[in-house]
Amino acid sequence: MKTDRAERTLTGLPVSPGIAIGPVYLHDPGIVAVTAYSIPTAELEHERLRFHRSVDAALLQIDKLRARAEMLPESAQEAAVALLEVHRQMLSGSRLVRGVDRRIRENRINAEAALETELAAIVESFSAIADPTIRSRVDDVRGAGHRVLRHLTQTAYHSFARVPTGSVVLAEELTPADAALMDPARILGFAAAVGGVEGHTAIMARALHLPAVLGVRGLLDAAAGASIVVVDGVDGQVVFDPGPDTLAAFRRRRAALARQRRRLVAVAALPAITDDGVAISLNANIDLPAEVDEARALGADGVGLLRTEIQFMNREDLPDEDAQYEMLRAVVEGLDGRTVTIRTLDIGGDKRAPALAAHFPEGPNPALGLRAIRYSLKVPRLFETQVAAILRAGAHGSIRILLPMLTSVGEMRQARNIIQRTARRLRRQGVAIADPLPPIGAMIETPAAALGADALADHSDFFAIGTNDLTMYTLAIDRSDEQVASLYNPFHPAVLRLIVFAVTAARERGIPISVCGEIAGDPRYTALLLGLGLRELSMSPGSLPRVKERLRAVDVAEAQTLAARSVAAHDAAHVMVLVEHFNASL
């Protein structure tokens, strides 16, 4: 493994832990440059037919890939099949397909150019979304679109079947379907110039336990001529032609990580109990059935947050009740009796649904405009359709309904009335639904909801604190705005005091309260959250073992002292010092 080239390092986003060391394999996905040209009016129908035949060919290819996916290891098999199903849905009457068809007709351009233009428009709309999980779904759109483009241009797909055993794959972009079909027995890991932490490509990498780094700018330029590469999925480094000392250091870290993985796997099976015997409920945040297996394997007690808006975002029409029900039922059945907390549509703001945008133009300040529960109450038929799907899914297991961005008791009353009315209608029609009706909870993610938590608690069955929006609205900081993002800090005492308001109100009314924002999945915050009185935490599945390991070392009585001092602090910097000192003592 010697090389004469100088060692060089790039950094990206660490999306799947582990260290891969091996020969470079540059993946060519078979994408060709597209040339736009005009189509005469008389040939437009032929051009549309050519496009739709390519879509059909792509769907047939997906069916074949599903059959091959069933040969994957059991831990990744279901996730791979589910991901391919997502691609199938994206090519079945989706915004992508309809948009391309319309561009061919209206702009009179060739199908390849129409497809590239529509893909660019969708990518742009997703890139404006602050929520990283939803933003990352653009990888699926790209993957589905590129599959059709290869059929249009009759470009052969270069599969991974001939990748030499023990290689590390480098590419400009890897779709979730690409990752799903990598054989961990032959491919050690991968890196790509495009992609994010919450995308399906990253999810598949974690399901397959393949070390991976995405979003590495200049990756392929740096890889030119390289023979050996290290992909560090922990720190997000990609090292080309490492020297002997570097190589030895990474091999030692790889061995240490293997030991750590074995320890965390063991932790996942342990009870979530603090050092002084307080039981904590750890749940997962997900938005697709494909993530259920990972959540269960990593010890989730249930799903604390199931996001539903992704079903509305990549299409020009709205998903009907049956489509929503099938997705929800798959999650509920996959949890096998564990509770699933289903958040109703949280669209608006930076999360846009084309089918709704046509009726309700974006306001001057989307973050403060028509979004989440306001949207649902503005369009009752939309809300009733989703509620019906949720109640039907509730016939298959334990669920809760979570209402986003409530700011008043009146909104809770309206929503509850609609839920009860929908339940009565379904019962009259003889449709099986959750019986009794599921608990209905409020997200605490605005200062109004936190400060009015005592009143909301009288009308809610549970609370879930969304710390991402709560921090944004409290500090008046848009974390997606690079100019002020550094000021975004959930350690701010004002945010902590609002959490205390909500926890106190929930405790006095005897209703459960959880945290499902990003801080719940960061072990640095675990002691502070427990000290503030939280006993339910919900996070991305990959964070579960680390948070469980941390909480098992925490004494709640000592954490309460930390929380009291933090709430009384003058600024976030002081809180961070207190938290770091506490964590260092564990």
Binding-site sequence positions for phosphoenolpyruvate? 307, 343, 468-469, 479
Assess whether the previous peptide bond of 523 is cis (omega < 30° from 0): no
* Catalytic entry in 27, 87, 200, 492: 200
* Cα–Cα distance, 203 to 196 (Å, whole number): 10
Indicate the burial class of 567 (C-beta count within 10 angstroms; 0-12, 13-18, 19 or more).
Answer: middle
What are the tokens at 23?
Answer: 């020969």
For residues 344 and 338, is the Cβ–Cβ distance under 8 A? no
Residues 6 or more apart whose CB falls under 8 angstroms from that of 482 comprise none
* Cα–Cα distance, 168 to 181 (Å, whole number): 14
Nearest to 251 by CA among 188, 339, 296, 344: 188
Phi, psi of 285 (to 5 degrees): -100, 120
Identify the helix (H) or strand (E) that includes residue 556.
helix 556-567
Phi, psi of 513 (to 5 degrees): -140, 140
Q: What SS3 string covers 370-421?
A: CCCHHHHHHCHHHHHHHHHHHHHHHHHCCEEEEECCCCCHHHHHHHHHHHHH
CA dihedral 303, 308, 313, 319 (to 10 degrees): 130
What are the tokens at 96?
Answer: 């992508």
Catalytic-residue membership of 146 = no
Strand partners, 11: 237
Catalytic-residue membership of 359 = no
Residue list, annotated binding site: 307, 343, 445, 468-469, 479
Nearest to 145 by CA among 58, 239, 235: 58
* Buried residues in 410-436 as b, exposed as e (16+ CB within 10 A): ebbebbbebbeebbeebeeeeeebbee
For residues 339 and 402, is the Cβ–Cβ distance under 8 A? no
Identify the helix (H) or strand (E) that includes residue 503.
helix 493-509
Phi, psi of 208 (to 5 degrees): -90, -5
* Catalytic entry in 516, 570, 574, 581: 516
Residue list, annotated binding site for Mg(2+): 445, 469
Give the catalytic positions in this structure: 200, 516
